Chain A
C-alpha cells in the first residue's frame, strides 16, 4: 500500500503535465550563432511553443562553435538532469563529433524527437557534358580525381553524400575530389562559373538555379520521389542511397523518465499544430517527425553510418590521406614556420640597439591585474562586477586617485552596457548573483 502511494505521488505531476503539457519555462539551446539553420529551428520552435501556449516563456540561447560540439558539451554538463531544457541537433553534429573527436557524444543526451530535414541534390552546371547520373558515375569510376565536387564544409552533409555515392558505385571514397567551400554562396559561385564539375547541397539552396536552368539536377537524396519536385531519386536510378540533412531535439542527460515523457508529449502536440506546418512550408523544410525511442534508434544507426563514411573518406582525425592533387594540410604551416624562424633569428642576431621609453611596471601591473580579475570573475561573479573592477584597475593604472568617482562610473558604465546587451539585444552575458 505504501509503495503504491509513493508510486501514485510520483506519477501525479506527470499526469497533470501530460494532460496540459504546458511549461512555465523552457530553454532551447541553439549550438550555432544566430541566423543559421539550427538557430532558425530553435527560434521557430520557440515561436510556435509560445503561440500555442505549450510554454509560457521560451528562452533561446546560442552557444556556437566547432559545428555544434561546443554547444553539446556545455548542454550535457550544465543542464544535466534538468527536464525543461532542449538542444537542437542534426546530422552535421553527428559528423562533427567524429571529426573533432568530441569528448561528448549524442549517446549521452536524451533523444526527444527528429523534427525536420532537407534533402540533398547533386547538380552539374548547365554546360556540363554530364547529361545524367549514369554519365557522372561512369566518369567517377574511370578517374575519381577528375570529377571535382563543390560543397559545404569538410565532413558535412554534402561530403557524406559524396562518400555514400562513391561507395555505392564501387569507388574508394578517399579518392574522390571534394572541394570544401566555406559558405553556400562560394560553392554555388564555383558551379555557376563552371569552375568545378559538379556540386552537392540542400535542394532549397540550388532550387532557384535549377528552375532557371543554370544548373542541371541529376539526383535527389530522398528515399521516395518528393511531390512537386521533378528530380529523380538515387533509388529510382538504381543506387541504394538516401540521406537527409535532418534536425531534431534532445534533452539533457540524466533526466527523469517522466520529464522525458512530457517533453515528447509537448513536441507531439507542437508538430500537430497548423502554425508548425505553415512554418515548415515557409522554410522549405521536410516534415521528418519521429518521436522518442524511434528517434533514439535512428540516432544510433546514423552515428554508425556517419562514422564509417567519415573513416572511408579519410577525413577523420587520425588518418592523413591526401587525395589526388591535394596539397597536404601541413605544407602552408611549414612555410609559415620557416618564415617565422628565419625572420626571428635574423632579428635576434642584430638586437640591442634600440633606446626605449622608461618602463612603468606599476601602471602595467595594475592594468594586467584588472585583466586577470576580469577573466577570473566574469563568469562566477557576473559581467557588472568583473567589468567594474577592470575599469577601476585601469583607471588607477593611469594615475587616477579618485576611487569613489571611478567606482561609481565603472558600475554605471558596466550596468548600462549590461542592460543594453541583455535587455535590448537579448544577448546573454554572465549575470552573476546581482541580476537573477
Chain B
C-alpha cells in the first residue's frame, strides 16, 4: 500500500463517529491539563491507562494523541497570561508572550500561538506522514558527540536573553548551571550537592525552577515594589482586528511559524532532542531576524509565534522515533510506549507492517486533532484574556495557589513546595537587582545535557577530546554555534 492509500484508510477509521468523539475528549482533556501547572500529558495518559484498557486500542490511542497535542496548545496559555510556564517547552513563549499580555495584547499573543500551533502541528504531521523512515535514518547518526555540539549551539541562545548587562546575564546562567548539578550524577550514580536530602537526589525539577523563578519570583517581586493606589488590574484586554491580530501581526507571524516548524520538527525527531532546545533556538533566530529587534523585551509577536510553532513541531517529531523504532524520547512518549505494551503491541521497526490500521488511524487523528484544537482554542482566547481583568490581589493569590499545587503534585512531596518558595525568593532578588532570569532556566536545562553528552562521548572515545571535531556532524554543528555568536557582531560592525 502506498502512503496515500494508507493515509486514506487511516482517515476512514479515525473519522468514525466514536473515534471522533474520543479524539475530541482527548483534545479537550489535553488542553485542560496543559493549562494546569505541574500536570502534563505524560501524567494524564499514565493515569488514564487503566481506565482505557476496556477501549479498542485504536480509540485509546486516538484519545492519547489528542491529549498529547492538546497539552501543547494549552501549555502556552498560562505562560502568556500569567508568566507561569507549566513545563519547560513553553518558557520561551512566556518571555515575549507575557510582555505582550501586559501591554494589552494578550489576545493577539494567544491567537498567534494557537494559529502557530495549528500550522506547525499540521506541517509537522505531514512531514511525519511522508518522511518518517528517512528522518529516523539521519537521526541515528547523532551520537553523544553530536548532541553535545547541539547543546553548545543551544547555549548560544543565551545571548538572546542576556538583558542589559553581559555580566549579570552570565551570573544568572551560572546559577542555573549550579542548580543543575544537584542530585545523582547519571553517569556514575553518585550523589552531588544533595546535602543529604533524599528528595534532592533526583535533582531540581525544571518545572519547580521555572514556576519558582517566573510565577513565585514575579509575584514576590511585584509585592516588593507595589505601591498602594497602583492600578488594580494587570492589563486591559484591548484588541483591534480579528482576535486582536492586526495586518502587521499576520505578516510578522507567518514566517516565524514556518521557521519554528523547520527548527522544531527535525530536532524533535532526534532521540535526545526534546522541545527546549528548538524553542530557545527559535527565539534566538526570531530575535536576530526581526525587522524591529528593539521590540524584543517589550513583547514582540515573532517571539511568541516562533517558539510556539517550534514546540508543536517538536512534539510531532517525537512521534517519529516512537512509531518507527519504538524509541521513547520524551516522558510522554515513554508512557505511550507503556500503553502500547499494555495492549500487547510492540512499537518497533515492524509496527507499520503488523498494525497498519492502528498506526495510520493514529496519524490521521493527528490531522483531525489539530483542526479540533484550533476550533476549540480560538474561541477560548476571548475567555482567557478576561483572566487579566481580575483585580491584582485575587490574580496573584490564585497564581501562588496554582504554583504550590503544581509543585506538590509533581512528586507529592513538601520538599518541592519549599524549594519552589526558596527559588521564588531567589527570583525576586534577581529581578530586584535587574538580573535576567531566563539564562538561569537555560543553564538548568542545558547544563546537565551538555555535561552528560560530553562525558558519554569521551567515555566512548576513551578520553579522546578530538571526537567533537573529527566527527563531521558534530564539527558542523559546532561551527554553526561559532557563527551564531560571531555573525551578529560582524553585521553590527558593518552596519
Tell me whether B411 and A64 are in contact (CB under 8 A).
yes
Given A184-B328, A333-B181, A363-B224, residue A378 in contact with residue B404 (CB < 8 A) = yes
B17 at interface by CB-CB < 8 Å: no
Tell me whether B226 and A324 are in contact (CB under 8 A).
no
Interface residues as binary, A129-159 with B (CB distance below 8 Å gives 1, 0 otherwise): 0000000000000000110100001110000
Given A180-B186, A186-B271, A427-B409, residue A354 in contact with residue B401 (CB < 8 A) = no
Q: Which residues of A contact B434 (CB under 8 A)?
A: 354
Given A315-B189, A343-B167, A394-B397, residue A183 in contact with residue B456 (CB < 8 A) = no
Identify the closest chain A residue to B221 (Cβ).
A364
Q: Which of B139, B341, B397, B413 contacts A395 (CB 8 A)?
A: B397
Given A391-B400, A394-B400, residue A65 in contact with residue B186 (CB < 8 A) = no
Given A33-B46, A69-B198, A421-B409, residue A188 in contact with residue B460 (CB < 8 A) = no
CA–CA, A153 and B201, complex, Å:
13
Given A100-B201, A363-B226, residue A346 in contact with residue B167 (CB < 8 A) = yes
B192 at interface by CB-CB < 8 Å: yes
B391 at interface by CB-CB < 8 Å: yes
Tell me whether B454 and A327 are in contact (CB under 8 A).
yes
CA–CA, A35 and B43, complex, Å:
8
* A30 CB to nearest B CB, Å: 11
Tell me whether A406 and B394 are in contact (CB under 8 A).
yes
CA–CA, A36 and B334, complex, Å:
8
Tell me whether B350 and A364 are in contact (CB under 8 A).
no
Q: Which of A212, A396, A399, A414 contacts B401 (CB 8 A)?
A: A414
CA–CA, A373 and B88, complex, Å:
28
Tell me whether B225 and A186 are in contact (CB under 8 A).
no
CA–CA, A368 and B398, complex, Å:
15
Given A65-B198, A371-B400, residue A155 in contact with residue B141 (CB < 8 A) = no
Tell me whether B199 and A65 are in contact (CB under 8 A).
yes
A409 at interface by CB-CB < 8 Å: yes
What is the number of contacts between chain A and chain B, taking CB atoms within 8 Å? 338
Tell me whether B220 and A339 are in contact (CB under 8 A).
no
B333 at interface by CB-CB < 8 Å: yes
Q: Interface residue count for A (Cβ, 8 Å)? A: 119
Q: Which of B48-72 contact A (CB under 8 A)?
A: 49-50
Q: Which of B141, B168, B225, B272 contacts A359 (CB 8 A)?
A: B225
* A126 CB to nearest B CB, Å: 12
Q: Which residues of B contact A337 (CB under 8 A)?
A: 178
Tell me whether A425 and B349 are in contact (CB under 8 A).
no
Tell me whether A387 and B224 are in contact (CB under 8 A).
no
* A26 CB to nearest B CB, Å: 16
Q: Which of B163-187 contact A (CB under 8 A)?
A: 167-168, 170-171, 174-175, 177-178, 181, 184-187
Q: Which of A169-200 contact B (CB under 8 A)?
A: 177, 179-186, 188-190, 192-193, 195-196
Which of these binds chain A: B307-315, B373-381, B417-425, B486-494? B417-425
B462 at interface by CB-CB < 8 Å: yes
Tell me whether A343 and B409 are in contact (CB under 8 A).
no
Q: Which residues of A contact B186 (CB under 8 A)?
A: 153-154, 180, 182
Chain B residues touching A, range: 35 or more
CA–CA, A335 and B381, complex, Å:
45
A417 at interface by CB-CB < 8 Å: yes
* A397 CB to nearest B CB, Å: 5
Q: Which residues of A contact B456 (CB under 8 A)?
A: 179, 181
Grouping DSSP codes into helix (H, G, I), strand (E, B) and loop, the B interface class, with mixed when no group exceeds half, is helix
Tell me whether A73 and B198 are in contact (CB under 8 A).
yes
CA–CA, A190 and B272, complex, Å:
10
CA–CA, A317 and B45, complex, Å:
36
CA–CA, A327 and B456, complex, Å:
9
B18 at interface by CB-CB < 8 Å: no
B142 at interface by CB-CB < 8 Å: yes
B5 at interface by CB-CB < 8 Å: no
Identify the closest chain A residue to B325 (Cβ).
A192
* B430 CB to nearest A CB, Å: 12
Tell me whether A34 and B220 are in contact (CB under 8 A).
no
CA–CA, A421 and B405, complex, Å:
9
CA–CA, A325 and B467, complex, Å:
13
Interface residues as binary, B303-334 with A (CB distance below 8 Å gives 1, 0 otherwise): 00000000000000000010001111101011
B190 at interface by CB-CB < 8 Å: yes
Q: List 23 A-B contacts (CB under 8 A).
A: A33-B411, A61-B412, A65-B411, A69-B198, A155-B189, A184-B328, A196-B460, A214-B349, A283-B341, A283-B342, A325-B464, A327-B458, A336-B447, A339-B177, A367-B220, A378-B408, A398-B226, A398-B392, A409-B394, A413-B401, A425-B44, A429-B405, A429-B409
Known pairs A99-B184, A148-B460, A417-B405; list 18 more (Cβ under 8 Å).
Answer: A40-B342, A62-B412, A63-B412, A179-B459, A180-B186, A184-B334, A185-B328, A188-B271, A207-B346, A212-B348, A320-B190, A336-B447, A340-B171, A368-B220, A372-B421, A409-B394, A413-B398, A429-B405
Please provide the 10 A-B residue pairs with the shortest distance between their CB atoms, ordered closest to farther: A208-B348, A154-B189, A34-B46, A325-B463, A189-B271, A325-B462, A195-B143, A400-B393, A193-B140, A35-B46
The interface of chain A, by Cβ under 8 A from chain B, is: 33-36, 39-40, 43, 46-47, 61-66, 69-70, 73, 99-100, 102, 145-146, 148, 153-155, 177, 179-186, 188-190, 192-193, 195-196, 204, 207-209, 211-212, 214, 281-284, 315, 317, 320, 323-327, 329-330, 332-333, 336-337, 339-340, 343-344, 346-347, 354, 356-360, 363-364, 366-368, 370-372, 374-375, 378-379, 383, 386-387, 390-400, 406, 409-410, 413-414, 417, 421, 425-430
